[in-house]
Amino acid sequence: MTTSTPPAVPEAVLAPALDRLVAALGTDAVLTDEEQLKEFRDPFTFAEWADHRGAAVVMPETVEQVQEVVRIANEFGVPLWTSSQGRNNAYGGAAPRLSGSIQVSLRRMNRILEVDEELGYAVVEPGVSFFELYEHFRANGHRLWPQLPDLSWGSVVGNTLDHGVGTGRPGQHPDRACGMEVVLGNGEVLRTGMGALPGAETWHTYQRGFGPALDPLFMQSNFGIVTKMGVWCMPEPEVYQLCLVTTERQDAVPELVDTIRPFVLDGTIPSGLAITRATDSSKLVELRDAVFSGQGPSREQVAESLKTRSRSAPWMLRFPLYGSADVVAAQWAQIQQAFAGVEAAVCTARTFAGDRVHEETRNHAEMCAAGVPNNHLWALVELWEGVGGHIDFSPVLPLKGADAARVMSILRPVIEDAGLVYSPTFSIIGRTMFHVVPTFFDTSNEAQTRAAFEQMYPQAIAACAEAGYGLYRTHVHFMDEVMDTYSFNDHVLRRFLETIKDGVDPNGVLSPGKSGIWPRSLRPDRRPGAHA
Amino acid sequence: MTTSTPPAVPEAVLAPALDRLVAALGTDAVLTDEEQLKEFRDPFTFAEWADHRGAAVVMPETVEQVQEVVRIANEFGVPLWTSSQGRNNAYGGAAPRLSGSIQVSLRRMNRILEVDEELGYAVVEPGVSFFELYEHFRANGHRLWPQLPDLSWGSVVGNTLDHGVGTGRPGQHPDRACGMEVVLGNGEVLRTGMGALPGAETWHTYQRGFGPALDPLFMQSNFGIVTKMGVWCMPEPEVYQLCLVTTERQDAVPELVDTIRPFVLDGTIPSGLAITRATDSSKLVELRDAVFSGQGPSREQVAESLKTRSRSAPWMLRFPLYGSADVVAAQWAQIQQAFAGVEAAVCTARTFAGDRVHEETRNHAEMCAAGVPNNHLWALVELWEGVGGHIDFSPVLPLKGADAARVMSILRPVIEDAGLVYSPTFSIIGRTMFHVVPTFFDTSNEAQTRAAFEQMYPQAIAACAEAGYGLYRTHVHFMDEVMDTYSFNDHVLRRFLETIKDGVDPNGVLSPGKSGIWPRSLRPDRRPGAHA
């Protein structure tokens, strides 16, 4: 990480481009003040580093304004970098790959355009957060549950576009996206899927259309700016049960994985599951409040306790069941029977009437799988007297216990050798496990932050790639390094994607470098900060 | 339809290209004999029409041979048209959009490369049929069920690439595709998703990768030739139950749809459902055998009986449940209770032990949802003394009873005015209904075949588009007309797809015209047989 990087755009180009943006969108929509820009930087990095800093933030409120922004970018040849809420924390937040980009924040596009309760979907703009979608359902009496990631202040659209995962049904958020409106590289508006048929009745019910389905092409890419998206939501079930399998056994993870697998594959559990250290988020929140009132532990104590937990806290597998009381009881009986064969595994569950979850769920785990938004886990950062940060490292594994054991044996030494604490978690969805490792550090400690970014992360990428485990998502700083690992046939994947990029965004204005995809003018060694 | 169309490729170019193909793949792999080519034409059209006829068929056996074919096509500028098994019947079979194309049949690439029973997937080449996949599982004792379309002789890959639907879990075949190998327009080999990471452990368990997911981009398109695909299969359940709700009431369809919807949305039924006229396929097969032995009805009598059935046969909703005996019983009790409120609806079910379906399922409906392959419904064609045909018209509807009623009121007069019989069926999967209408005719009767192609089908496209219902798939003859209906913003969808086409296949050799996507050299009015 460096304290200065050359800007992507010379001042002589930037200034008139910003003037045009102000003329088109209003003064209020273009932020250039240093204080205002801070919110759109990576919150989890050493404050004096200057990588990944935008030159300005522009905040359109309508599709037409987004089109205008793209047209101006083309005219002046300035790179844009789009975020929705900009809460992609632990992966860089709203920060751009290329310093000097003009950041496009879609926070002000925050309308919920449609809810179809019968068909179980909503249509949202990118600024809509999980909190807002939930509140809208509640205020209007819609008995629908949004599917949530761990923190609810993020954008429904943004989380989906970054291939986010969570609890609820289905656990992979891209799987519940249906039908987009997209502003293309030339400023034109495209509607995907059935939305291309004027007056279509099925834009948000059928995920394909005629010809190839394009929704996936606009995720983790830089081929367009998504301005609307249909999102499928769960109907409120009769019964929701959060099931926990807890064990003190430190070697139990592979057995937990292998025992639950048949119930995932046969569809008994069609939602996200998690294996983590047992944590009650309501206690975390209490602890965080204690820290802020001066009664809590110091950040050194927090770090120490994290270290202890990383070797001795109980493991917990948790997952939701949804349905009628009879069906849920029959499913849970069958699952408990399977875990009866796992030494020292304790099954517990808490059951809620579907319409009571709003009042009765108490902590992050119970709430998230019931679509009740919360930011409890943010306390994990705030506990460090407000200067905590983490960078998430997330390889994808097959749903086999042996792979869980193998990846832990690979990553623990890499992370501990960097003087950091290994905090493994597993998100299971279908045949796949996401091994999400949030490595925490003190962002006011440059050496520690540097150890995370410069030692741990690149070594972890290499070690996992060597073992056949690729990342499903990464920090903006490592997009090239991760794409480098997807190297089959002389990097044909990147070359294919960049061929598409050149066609659909010939001036390369949309989020250059996103997922390692660069426009012709900036690849491969002409881009600022290019790695060797 | 015409009796002659200008060939896409002049003989002076074609002849040396074929010589090169013979030199590269062997005489045996290049078919030019008129008799041999017949099998690769549309089987359901008037025999003397010459639309959509390829100049030759080339049959590679390996990925390297496919690469060689693509390189030769680029060198000579000859268009290819790829099929897997070539059983896309009712949509044109193996026939190319552009007459004179060299047809690439992948039938000889028929290896099953891998089966992972623990994770429930197989990796297949495009020539592998549903019959072959099933037989392979049986022969090797794998307790996995393939998910089937109505007829089992087709290709697992080919059906998926055309967005096929079926019974089983999940009902949309693209949803169970995971990880492809693709030969690109320049002859290079790409691996999608996690497959781009050398030695990846998750190529066939995780449907995305790093950057945008590309599997969907290679479906219903002409951006590459898929040479391998991962396919998720269901583990054999403890119990399989085929549930039927039958009613004599001719106006019952909307109520069946609205009554079952909550069970689809809440995940009780995560598989495909069908609403059809009640039919026992084993009786159809008996009838077909009678026709062939000279004891059955004449084709006029068959047509007459179809006509009667179209107005008076009972309706049937059918769907499978899978799971433990307890879970299935609890689910079925709840569903039956809901249908108790539907006048004159009779619920019946047949329950099978999961390991007994191979011996005990008796007809198409029971077999398909249990992964037991069959071609029973082919009898619907053979009944016509061997000269029957049909063209399928398949708009997509939201899962609402009112839409089922509306589309039937739109299509019945269009089809009956053309002197044909309206045979509505509905495939329900998630929030969507596919209104699959197989219009039957006598292919030896030119006037009747012409009425289907030239009167009924174009009118049906227009009437449905006007109502907001787009087609999910169409006959090769109507790909432009259907893409024309996806016209939002001056056909930006087609323009965007054609921009990609120009980048990834600059010589336009891969399946020109597929889904209305044309390479630069052939669009829009320069292509043979271009419509106004």
Residue A387 and residue B490: Cα distance in Å, rounded? 52
pLDDT tens-place string over residues A141-194: 999 999 999 999 999 999 999 999 998 888 999 999 999 999 999 999 999 999
CB contact at 8 A, B262 and B400 = no
Catalytic residue among B41, B87, B91, B240: B91
B11 reaches A (C-beta below 8 A) = no
The pLDDT of residue B528 is above 80: no
Residue B168's pLDDT is 86
Terminal CA-CA length for chain B: 15
The pLDDT of residue B437 is above 60: yes
The pLDDT of residue A3 is above 60: no
| Known catalytic residue at A97 | no
Residue for token digits 């249909």? A230
Strand partners, B123: B114, B230
**Residue B451 has what DSSP assignment?**
I
Which tokens in the block code for residue B125? 């080449």
Determine what percent of chain A is predicted with pLDDT higher than 70: 97
Catalytic residue among B472, B494, B523, B527: B472
Contact A470 B200 (CB under 8 A): yes
Q: Which of A67, A84, A58, A108 is nearest to A157 (CA)?
A: A84
B506 reaches A (C-beta below 8 A) = no
Helix (H, G, I), strand (E, B) or coil at A172: strand
The residues in B 415-474 lying below 8 A from A, measured between CB atoms, are 430-432, 465, 467-474
The residues in B 206-235 lying below 8 A from A, measured between CB atoms, are 206, 208-221, 223, 232, 234-235
The pLDDT of residue A527 is above 70: no
- Of A285-289, A493-497, B194-198, the poorest mean pLDDT is in A285-289
Catalytic residue among A322, A422, A469, A472: A472
Rounded mean pLDDT of chain A?
Answer: 95
Rg (CA), chain A: 23
Contact A403 B201 (CB under 8 A): yes
User: pTM of the predicted model, to two decimals?
Assistant: 0.97
Catalytic residue among A91, A121, A134, A422: A91
CB contact at 8 A, A212 and B221 = yes
> What dihedral angle (degrees, nearest 10) is formed by the CA atoms of B467, B472, B473, B478?
30
| Known catalytic residue at B473 | yes
Chain A residue with CA closest to B434: the answer is A206
Burial tier of B48 (Cβ tally within 10 Å: 0-12, 13-18, 19+): exposed
Chain A residue with CA closest to B197: the answer is A486
pLDDT tens-place string over residues B403-416: 999 999 999 999 99
Residue A506 and residue A228: Cα distance in Å, rounded? 24
Contact A431 B497 (CB under 8 A): no
The interface predicted TM-score of the complex, written ipTM, equals: 0.97
Chain B residue with CA closest to A484: the answer is B197
Residue A296 and residue B391: Cα distance in Å, rounded? 73
B337 reaches A (C-beta below 8 A) = no
Helix (H, G, I), strand (E, B) or coil at A267: coil
Rounded mean pLDDT of chain B?
Answer: 95
Residue B337 Cα, gap to closest chain A Cα (Å): 13
Average pLDDT over residues B171-199: 97
Contact B190 A472 (CB under 8 A): no
Residue A6's pLDDT is 59
Q: Least CB-CB distance to B326: which of A196, A212, A330?
A: A330
Chain A residue with CA closest to B326: the answer is A330
Residue for token digits 């520690």? A448
Residue A491 and residue B448: Cα distance in Å, rounded? 53
- Of A304-308, B121-125, B213-217, B488-492, the poorest mean pLDDT is in A304-308
Strand partners, B239: B323, B353
Mutation target among A266, A393, A436, A484 for the B interface, most CBs of B within 10 A: A266
3-state DSSP: chain B helix, strand, coil percent, rounded to 5?
Answer: 40, 20, 40
Residue B532's pLDDT is 36
Chain B residue with CA closest to A329: the answer is B327
Chain A residue with CA closest to B174: the answer is A208
Residue A79 and residue A512: Cα distance in Å, rounded? 7
B485 reaches A (C-beta below 8 A) = yes
Contact B268 A503 (CB under 8 A): no
Residue A222 Cα, gap to closest chain B Cα (Å): 9
Average pLDDT over residues B358-375: 96
| Known catalytic residue at A350 | no
Average pLDDT over residues B380-392: 92
Residue A347 Cα, gap to closest chain B Cα (Å): 20
Which residues, 6+ apart, have CB-to-CB distance to A321 below 8 Å? A239, A240, A241, A243, A268, A269, A328, A331, A332
Beta strand A80-83 with A102-105 is parallel
Residue B493 and residue A460: Cα distance in Å, rounded? 41
The pLDDT of residue A367 is above 70: yes
Which tokens in the block code for residue B372? 């037991």
Contact B216 A211 (CB under 8 A): no
Residue B337 and residue B346: Cα distance in Å, rounded? 11
Contact B197 A232 (CB under 8 A): no
Residues of A in contact with B198 (CB under 8 A): 487-488
Q: Which of B383, B231, B205, B190 is nearest to B300 (CA)?
A: B383
CB contact at 8 A, B334 and A326 = yes
Strand partners, A116: A121
Average pLDDT over residues B105-128: 98
Per-residue pLDDT band for B1 (boundaries 50, 70, 90) equals: low
The residues in A 64-93 lying below 8 A from B, measured between CB atoms, are none
Residue A532's pLDDT is 36
The pLDDT of residue B531 is above 50: no
Residues of B in contact with A468 (CB under 8 A): 197, 199-202
3-state DSSP: chain A helix, strand, coil percent, rounded to 5?
Answer: 40, 20, 40
Contact B211 A200 (CB under 8 A): no
Q: Least CB-CB distance to B431: which of A205, A223, A261?
A: A205
Contact A468 B399 (CB under 8 A): no
- The CA distances from residue B215 to A52, B157, B192, B212, B223, in Å, are 31, 12, 6, 9, 11
Q: Least CB-CB distance to B202: which of A188, A194, A397?
A: A397
Which residues, 6+ apart, have CB-to-CB distance to B402 below 8 Å? B254
CB contact at 8 A, B144 and B236 = yes
Which tokens in the block code for residue B193? 């998703």
Determine what percent of chain B is predicted with pLDDT higher than 90: 89
Residue B44 Cα, gap to closest chain A Cα (Å): 22
Contact B266 A234 (CB under 8 A): yes
